[in-house]
């Protein structure tokens, strides 16, 4: 069974805190199953953006794990491009979650990032 989005986000924020990295929910989505986007703000005008991996990325061995992909063509991307993407996605899907962390080196603490 897959963790509810609200529980996953709370655990992710705690994980970032344990690593000494500031993390905050910028947008609350649907508690049960809202898509989660993670912004890694590099504090220099650029950011990385990770979003849900496509369904084709899941296999039978781990069908319920959350997996992420880098969303932007260029990474890190200008913050303005990341913000424009999030604004567009939020209009398309009002149930999305947005979590932002501040990490100059780009560490993201996501367990599964697909390239």
**Mean pLDDT, range 32-49, rounded to an integer:** 95
- Quick one: pLDDT band at residue 63, thresholds 50, 70, 90? very low
| pTM beyond cutoff 0.85 | yes
Report the length, in residues, of the chain. 115
Task: Please report which confidence band the pLDDT of residue 61 belongs to, taking 50, 70 and 90 as the band edges.
Answer: low
Identify which of 99, 102, 84, 83 has the alpha carbon closest to the alpha carbon of residue 44.
102
Q: In 10 A of CB 3, how many CB atoms? A: 13
Secondary structure (DSSP) of the chain: -PPPHHHHHHHHHHHHHHTT--EEEEE---TTT--EEEEEE-SSSEEEEEEEPPGGG--SSSTTS--EEE-SSSSSEEHHHHHHHHHHHHHH-TT-EEEEEE-TT-----S-EE-
């Amino acid at each position: 069974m897959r963790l509810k989005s609200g529980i996953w986000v709370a655990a992710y924020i705690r994980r970032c805190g344990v690593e000494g990295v500031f993390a905050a929910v910028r947008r609350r989505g649907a508690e049960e199953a809202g898509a989660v986007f993670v912004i890694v703000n590099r504090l220099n005008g650029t950011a990385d953006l990770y979003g849900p991996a496509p369904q084709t990325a899941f296999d039978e061995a781990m069908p319920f794990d959350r997996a992420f992909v880098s969303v932007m063509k260029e990474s890190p991307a200008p913050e303005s491009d990341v913000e424009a993407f999030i604004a567009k996605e939020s209009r398309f899907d009002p149930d999305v979650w947005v979590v932002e962390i501040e990490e100059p080196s780009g560490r993201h603490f996501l367990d599964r990032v697909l390239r």
